[in-house]
Amino acid sequence: MKIFLVVAAVLATAAGSDEKWKQYREAVMHVAASQPDTADSRWGLSPVGFNDFGCQVQYSDSVPTSVHQLRPSDIGVVAALGDSLTAANGALASNVLAVLTEYRGASWSIGGDGSLENTITLANIIKKFNPNVKGFSTGTGNVNSWGANFNVAVPGKEAIDMPDQADELISRMRNSGDIDFQNDWKVITLFIGGNDLCGYCSDSRTDEGNPKSATNYRAYIEQALDKLHAQVPRAFVNLVSMLDIAELNKGQLTFSCRLLSAFLCDCVTYANDNELNIIRRVNGEYQDALRDLVGSGKYDTRDDFTVVLQPFLENTPIPMNPNNPSEADLTYFAPDCFHFGAKAHAEAAEGLWMNMLEGWGSKSTSWVLGRDVQCPLSNSPFLRTMRN
């Protein structure tokens, strides 16, 4: 069994994103079949909640017409684009097979299961300011499931897929009977790039000749943002910067984790120090590309639309085991040691929320583990943009 899976992992390195995800699914099922049907105490943790919300909700005198005067209570719709981290694969998984389940209701940027008291997500934070917010995803299921709603993320996808996801999201919002497409204020979160970086080393070409180059990464995201800018009124777009994917190398502590991660991110799983440095360089180029794109001002040509770069993951280190500081704390991960577990989804939600309240040039570039959900300042009650 192990020999078969190792060979399959090697073959997966040359596959496209859809084929690679298909091979990953098959590997998960093989690994699950070879393991005893018992839960590991490190995984399957309940969603993380926050019980001490004490923010004084501030309301606008009238519905704002400017995105630069947008309060959390003005948000009527949440939406998200991305890959398996936004689809929330394995978020509540207690065994390897359950990593294939998309726990969309627990997704950090758009999940709406429960409430803030039992599930920290951006949508559940926003519910505290506007209980009538729409668009959040619930339960489990794929992008076409009833509970997916405006969570159009699809596992295995890359930057090249974002223009199509933008089209899908726009179509869903236009055709929804639950929202006022023209007048509701929308928060849309786009996070993508892990699969791009994880495929970078699969091409022998480097830099501009590589289809996963920062130039191409930016171009595809720009196409998606252009679509949103041209067609979606009243929108605040969170563009979340890429995390340091090389950090995942520290979490490969079991054979199953190393094997499954190899299907998704062979560029990191078995990389030596030199190879990791290459990935870190390209990772930085991805971050710089998004910073330049947003800083260009091309999405600040209308008063009712903006794109804000949220960098809270850029310098986020992998959490380390408090009982063994030399090892990664796997309780933050799904059983494949790659996808976010419940604790990481909660931390990512809080980190994104904090970035949304922080001014341009003063945003946190790493999450703070265990930090309380913060309140908007009374003298700065708006979601922060480059212009406020």
Residues with a known catalytic role: 84, 196, 339
Tokens for 233, please give them: 């009124």
Crossing angle for the helix pair 17-34 and 255-269, to the nearest 10 degrees: 160
CA angle 209, 314, 99 (to 5 degrees): 85
Burial zone of 15 (CB within 10 Å; 0-12 exposed, 13-18 middle, 19+ buried): middle
Residues written for the chain:
388
Largest CA distance in the chain: 66
Q: Which among 116, 118, 117 has a CA at the least distance from the CA of 126?
A: 116
Using DSSP bridges, classify how beta strands 75-82 and 185-191 pair: parallel, antiparallel or unpaired. parallel
Can you list the pairs that 112-117 forms with residues at least 24 positions away whose Cβ atoms lie under 8 Å? Answer: 112/78, 112/136, 112/137, 112/138, 113/47, 113/138, 113/139, 114/47, 114/49, 115/49, 116/49, 116/50, 116/53, 116/373, 117/49, 117/50, 117/51, 117/53
Question: From the centroid of its chain, how far is CA 211?
Answer: 22
Q: What is the DSSP letter of 151?
A: B
Instruction: Give strand ranges (E) for 25-108.
Output: 75-82
Tokens for 95, please give them: 């065994």
| Sign of the torsion formed by the C-alpha atoms of 125, 126, 128 and 132 | negative
